Structure 1
Amino acid sequence: MNPDLADRLAPFRAETLGRGIPPEDVERWIALARPSATLVTGGDGPVVGRFGGPLMLPADTPDPWFPLLATLDCAALPEETTGLRLPPDGRLLLFGFPEMTYYGGTAGEVVHIPEGTPVEERNTRCPHVFGEEGDGFDATDALALHEQFPQEELRLAPDVSLPHHFLAPSPEPGGETITLPGHPRARDLAEVWHETCGGIVVDGPLRIGGYAFHECTETDPVADAAADAEEARRHRGDSAELPAPGEWTLLAQWDIGLTGREGSTLHWVVPRQDLPEHRFDRAHASFFWNPWPPEPPRGSVPKRRGAPRTP
């Protein structure tokens, strides 16, 4: 990791030691730090992509179901900045929609277009975003959300990331969760990170790489999303096995902030082994929402994790 980014963790280290957390526990936690890229819509960093814009795809790529959120320049997102082995060139397209899904289904998809590939302007197949006459679906809420999707350039801010979660699945059959193995003070360390990270990390709407988080992070959202992908595979009757949850990584996180989806997050996760192969067909997008007031908008499905915020 870039030493300058590691130095930014000094406030976290000082606060943890000041609370009496043993130095060896603190250093083991800091050793988990990962580089990440926060993409912002202002500042003077290099432009690495954009929110929105026309959807341009190769002729042989199927129409995506979800609307386009962002297009990223892979060459402008090197591994030393993101911690990810992204393709060395071309564009990475993130699709998604902030809505709960059934049976672990994905809330988005990812497409990589190699440099120099001919493309044509396309549209999505999602009727509840653009509406279709006679489809019988009330798209009022969905249309209001889609109209708020950002349409701006995205600039790069190198960042640093530590875990927000402190629990892991139990190794015992039928067990629930345990403290992260090897980190007996994980809950305390995650709490200090939650309290100090606002003065350390960059505030931006889209994050590439690093650790995933949302408003109720206790277990790793990446592992949770990977478990959802496995549930969806079984529900489809797909015989192709997926890697274990611990073998997935965060590709991107959108901290949504749309009116009607306050407190929500989209995570795109991918099997780590797929990145060097430049394949994204197994990518899975997981939507988390912690609504307040607790009643979600019309047509949505109650969330499965977390709890409503208290006023």
Structure 2
Amino acid sequence: MDHQGQLRRAALASGIPDDEVSRFIQHLRLSIRLSGGSSGGPVGQFGGLPRLPVGIDWPSDGIGPLPFIFSVDCAALPRVDGFGLPADGTLVFFLNHRQAAATGEQRYGRVVYVPVGTDTEVAAGPADHASVDKQYDVVATLRAEFPDWLDEDDEDDEEHEDEDDLSSFQQQLARDLKRDLPHLDELRTLAKGLWPSDNGYASACIGGYVDHEVIKSFAEQTLAWREKTGEMVIPVAKWYSHVEAETHRLTSEWVSLARFPVENEHYYRSDGSFVIRHDDLVAGRLDKALSAAELIP
């Protein structure tokens, strides 16, 4: 579906100039929200045992099997403008979130892409079947997403950051856009009316923006490498501003492949995610996806 065209038609009908709509669309991303329910056909499976290609071993971190999180049928997912997810086949996600959060090592996360037509079988699973979560199906809906600095004050959105929580760099971005888009609030309202957030429990989201802290860590690593190789020298007093600018640049290059809460007994919240560059996703290089995890006491 032409989602950008859908928003554009609604905005033009409301009297909003086309050039404002075009500028606004640059910051809008749609994510695919996965949740349990009966409204619509199932698009994926959480828990239980996944279907893997015949003869393929259960993914491991080199010591033991990785926990299976969920799988999705790409052909059953709604298509999203500018999001290069495979048109068919299955994506299967594995993540040991506790070890991934503690070490940051990529061996604790894996994305397996199973092309359509591949002979598959229900995987045998780890020896400790008690660690296999209960299986349930999920359905898909679309929701509008914006970068943190552009998101409106929504009391029902737990991920929203108040203006006081934004950096001076982010606040300036927001002020510049508000200056250039007099109808910004109307456009935001239109987008969230077409693709509203559901305040119920979401098992996962496919696509959309990468978590700000994940992108920020990429920016810090990138700048540290440039300094190490002599490409640039950043004065200590300028480090934070360089990180902010690099974070903003990288936000356009990376997309969230999947993000999901993880149930645990020792933390108030535990989040897992997989991120990938737009170019790698479009080219089908799903092995380039990186995992990330966060444990919040």
TM bucket normalised to smaller: 0.5 to 0.7
SS of the equivalent of 1:179 reads helix
Q: Is the 8 A contact 2:260 2:273 kept in 1?
A: yes
Deviation at 1:260, TM superposition (A): 3.2
SS of the equivalent of 1:46 reads coil
Offset from partner CA, 1:280-307 (integer Å, 9 cap, x none) = 112111112221xxxxxxxxxxxxxxxx
Which deviates more from structure 2 when the two are superposed, residues 105-114 or residues 95-104?
A: 95-104
Partner in structure 2 of residue 40 of structure 1: 35
SS of the equivalent of 2:80 reads helix
Find the aligned partners of 1:157 and 1:79 in 2 and give their Cα distance.
11
SS of the equivalent of 2:288 reads coil
Deviation at 1:48, TM superposition (A): 0.6
Identify which of 138, 147, 165 aligns with 1:163. Answer: 147
Change (3 A) 1:98 1:185: farther
Q: Does 1:201 align with 2:201?
A: no
Q: Structure 1: which 5+ runs fail to align?
A: 11-23, 132-142, 167-175, 214-219, 234-243, 292-311
Q: Is the 8 A contact 1:34 1:162 kept in 2?
A: yes
Deviation at 1:185, TM superposition (A): 6.8
Deviation at 1:120, TM superposition (A): 3.7
Q: Does 1:262 align with 2:268?
A: yes
Partner in structure 2 of residue 276 of structure 1: 282
Change (3 A) 1:3 1:269: closer
Q: How does 1:202-281 map to 2 (within 5 A)?
A: 202=198, 203=200, 204-213=202-211, 220-224=212-216, 226=218, 245-246=250-251, 247-281=253-287
Q: How does 1:45-194 map to 2 (within 5 A)?
A: 45-59=40-54, 61-65=56-60, 66-80=66-80, 83-99=82-98, 100-102=100-102, 104-106=104-106, 107-122=108-123, 130=128, 146=131, 149-164=133-148, 178-179=169-170, 182-184=173-175
Change (3 A) 1:250 1:272: same
Letter in 2 for 1:93: V
* RMSD after superposition: 4.3
SS of the equivalent of 2:283 reads coil
SS of the equivalent of 2:169 reads strand
Find the aligned partners of 2:263 and 2:5 in 1 and give their Cα distance.
30
Deviation at 1:184, TM superposition (A): 3.5
Q: Structure 2: which 5+ runs fail to align?
A: 12-18, 61-65, 151-166, 178-183, 226-248
Q: Is the 8 A contact 2:145 2:208 kept in 1?
A: yes
Q: Is the 8 A contact 2:149 2:174 kept in 1?
A: no
Offset from partner CA, 1:128-160 (integer Å, 9 cap, x none) = xx49xxxxxxxxxxx7xx45x452101011221
Change (3 A) 1:43 1:57: closer
Find the aligned partners of 1:224 and 1:201 in 2 and give their Cα distance.
25
Partner in structure 2 of residue 240 of structure 1: none
Letter in 2 for 1:210: G
- TM-score normalised by structure 2 residue count: 0.60
- TM-score normalised by structure 1 residue count: 0.58
Change (3 A) 1:2 1:30: closer
Partner in structure 1 of residue 153 of structure 2: none
Which deviates more from structure 2 when the two are superposed, residues 97-106 or residues 202-211?
A: 97-106
SS of the equivalent of 1:275 reads helix
Deviation at 1:200, TM superposition (A): 3.6
Offset from partner CA, 1:18-59 (integer Å, 9 cap, x none) = xxxxxx999966751111110110141221111023233224
User: Identity across aligned pairs (percent)?
Assistant: 27
Offset from partner CA, 1:264-290 (integer Å, 9 cap, x none) = 211110121111222211211111222
Find the aligned partners of 2:221 and 2:40 in 1 and give their Cα distance.
35
Deviation at 1:177, TM superposition (A): 8.4
Find the aligned partners of 1:124 and 1:282 in 2 and give their Cα distance.
25
Find the aligned partners of 1:267 and 1:229 in 2 and give their Cα distance.
19
Matched positions, count: 228
